[in-house]
Amino acid sequence: GDSVTQMEGPVTLSEEAFLTINCTYTATGYPSLFWYVQYPGEGLQLLLKATKADDKGSNKGFEATYRKETTSFHLEKGSVQVSDSAVYFCALSGAQKVTFGIGTKLQVIP
């Protein structure tokens, strides 16, 4: 079945540091790929998505590229802020359902 493997956190970075959160997937067919963010005390919000190979999703300075050859969708941001502290979930949309990774907690310190 479909699966998403996500690097375990927590990840602690200083403000303005470069962020990479790794995500790889296993799926049949050609799934859409997503990154969701969950801020403390809130529900999940769609951060960005990509629907086909080589697509790059981007939002709020975050970006991720759909790499079919490596089955990856790594999340990156060039300069993180304290307000980016949250849990980030990688997900794929397969046959009629979405499969989530375990989530990576990011803590950005001033």
Is residue 51 involved in binding other proteins (CB under 8 A)? yes
Least Å distance between CB 26 and other proteins?
15
Among 45, 79, 81, 83, binds other proteins (CB under 8 A): 45
- Which residue, 49 or 77, is less far from other proteins as judged by CB? 49
Handedness of CA 40, 16, 49, 90 (dihedral sign): negative
Query: What residue type is 21 in one-letter code?
Result: I
Number of residues that bind other proteins (CB under 8 A): 19
**41 versus 110: smaller Cβ distance to other proteins:** 41
Nearest-angstrom CA–CA distance, 8 and 2: 19
The answer to whether the beta carbons of residues 90 and 34 sit under 8 Å apart is yes
For the beta carbon of residue 101, count every other beta carbon within 10 angstroms.
24
Give the whole-angstrom CA distance, residue 2 versus residue 57.
Answer: 21
**Contact flag: residue 32 with other proteins (CB under 8 A):** yes
Residue 44 makes contact with other proteins by CB under 8 A: yes
Q: Which residues bind other proteins (CB under 8 A)?
A: 32, 34, 36, 42-46, 49, 51, 89, 93, 96-98, 100-103
